[in-house]
Amino acid sequence: MLGDKTPPTEVWAYNGLEPGPVLRLRQGTPFRAVVENRLDEPTTVHWHGMRLPNAMDGVPGLTQPTIQPGKTFDYAFTPPDAGTFWYHSHDNGLVQMGRGLAGALIVEEVEPPAVDRDLLWTIQDWRLEPDASIAPGFRNRMEAAMDGRVGNTVTINGRLPEAVRVRAGERVRLRLLNAAIARIMALRFDGHRPVIVALDGQPCDPHEPADGRILLGPAMRVDVILDMQGEPDRSYRVVDDFYDRLSYTLVRIDYETVKPLRLHPSGASLRLPPNPLPRPDLGTAVVHDVRIQGGMMSSMGSGGMMGGGMGGMGSGAAWAINGHSMTGDGSADMPPLFRIDRGRSCVVDFRNETAWWHPMHLHGHSFNVLERNGAPVPHDEWGDTVLVRPREHLRVAFVADNPGDWMLHCHVMEHQVGGLMTTIRVT
């Protein structure tokens, strides 16, 4: 992972690859995967962002029995949406994902946009020891009540990135996947103007990111189209400056010496073909509050925990949703936060009462992001994971068209296992 001068890092892997093999599916074409568990502990695979049948969702105890060591499970589904998705362990996820069990899943458009190259960056964050082994201590209570386990090494496609070589004038579709367990990223492409064309696999109005920074919480994907408008032979930096004082160069973009492929950016449309997503009817939607609570600087977050009032808090919980904490890998006996009639439109009001950022993720559906702190979002935007800022009130809506019990949780893994998790029921 760190290059030839350092010993390799021992990871847990799918098919011996880190990250797991890139799965390329065709929109509307059935997919099947037989997962054989060769770990010493139970596991499942979750197909993050897929609108698939509940029984294929990979949540142990909720949608399937866990896969015991030596056993197999057959996953099969037909992807309705084209876009950039991913898969990862959903059992003991903090440790299993933290040790590498994740990979990208790309569903190809029937008619893909015209680009010269289609690149994927699966970005992961690791906390490594000097000998390049993964540092122990996945359950640090202090970190769990703060930003989570943010590491010291960021890799692209399983390697400490060297420069990416490009040719002047070419148009690249770059699929960014934040597969880290905790690290939030804000990417700036020096000298370039990336245009966001999809969020969490779902096409959006093509737009440049606010302040030129592409925000990417854990589990989120952003597809950008990059016209390589730099000069031959020059080098440009991609910088991640999300955390104060921890800005670093993620990777360099090196231009080849050859003359530009074209002198002006191609005029071809940047808009991706739409996916068959139902648009929620806000006039008839039911509205549910999802209050995000806990963490350091709250009454329940500081280790000693809550004096009272937090009814359903499991032991060791640092976080809660509407006063209840589902911890660990979830507890199937905990009642759903709410139930919705199948086909009904639903508005979810995320109210972040904490001092921390939370990438909130809903299984089995994609939602339309409506408002942040009462202001409509500037672009039509869909997703399965949305980054909720400290103290923010964020409103999303979706059609509850997929029957079953679905997880709703923060994708900072320590937050999830520390109580920022619940389920909703669609019947």
List the single partner that 358 binds among Cu ion, ligand C2O, none, CB under 5 to 8 Å by kind.
Cu ion
Q: Which phi and psi angles does 353 have, rounded to 5°?
A: -90, 10
> Shortest CA distance to 196 belongs to which of 175, 171, 178?
175
- Asked if 183 is part of the footprint of Cu ion (rule: CB under 5 A), the reply reads no
349-368 footprint of Cu ion as x/- string (CB under 5 A): ---------x----x-----
List the single partner that 415 binds among ligand C2O, Cu ion, none, CB under 5 to 8 Å by kind.
Cu ion
Measured from the CB atom, is 171 or 415 closer to Cu ion?
Answer: 415
- Asked if 361 is part of the footprint of ligand C2O (rule: CB under 6 A), the reply reads yes
**Residue pair 128/183 in contact by the 8 Å Cβ criterion:** no
Measured from the CB atom, is 255 or 382 closer to ligand C2O?
Answer: 382
Cα–Cα distances in Å, from 234 out to 108, 131, 156, 348, 421? 32, 34, 21, 47, 46
Count of residues that interact with ligand C2O, criterion CB under 6 A = 10
DSSP 260-271: PS-SS---S--P
| Segment contacting ligand C2O by CB under 6 A, of 33-41, 209-217, 394-402, 407-415 | 407-415
Measured from the CB atom, is 187 or 412 closer to Cu ion?
Answer: 412
- Asked if 415 is part of the footprint of Cu ion (rule: CB under 5 A), the reply reads yes
- Asked if 188 is part of the footprint of ligand C2O (rule: CB under 6 A), the reply reads no
**Residue pair 323/310 in contact by the 8 Å Cβ criterion:** yes
List the single partner that 219 binds among Cu ion, ligand C2O, none, CB under 5 to 8 Å by kind.
ligand C2O
| Segment contacting ligand C2O by CB under 6 A, of 16-24, 233-241, 339-347, 406-414 | 406-414
Starting from the edge strand earliest in sequence, which strands make up the sheet with 117-126, in order? Answer: 153-156, 117-126, 171-178, 221-227, 195-199, 202-207
Cα–Cα distances in Å, from 104 out to 60, 94, 359? 21, 18, 18
**Residue pair 203/251 in contact by the 8 Å Cβ criterion:** no
36-55 footprint of Cu ion as x/- string (CB under 5 A): ------------x-------
DSSP 389-405: PTT-EEEEEEE--S-EE
- Asked if 94 is part of the footprint of ligand C2O (rule: CB under 6 A), the reply reads no
Would you state the structure tokens that stand for residue 3, as one six-digit string?
A: 């290059």
List the single partner that 90 binds among Cu ion, ligand C2O, none, CB under 5 to 8 Å by kind.
ligand C2O
The residues of the shown chain that bind Cu ion, judged by CB under 5 A, are 48, 358, 363, 410, 412, 415
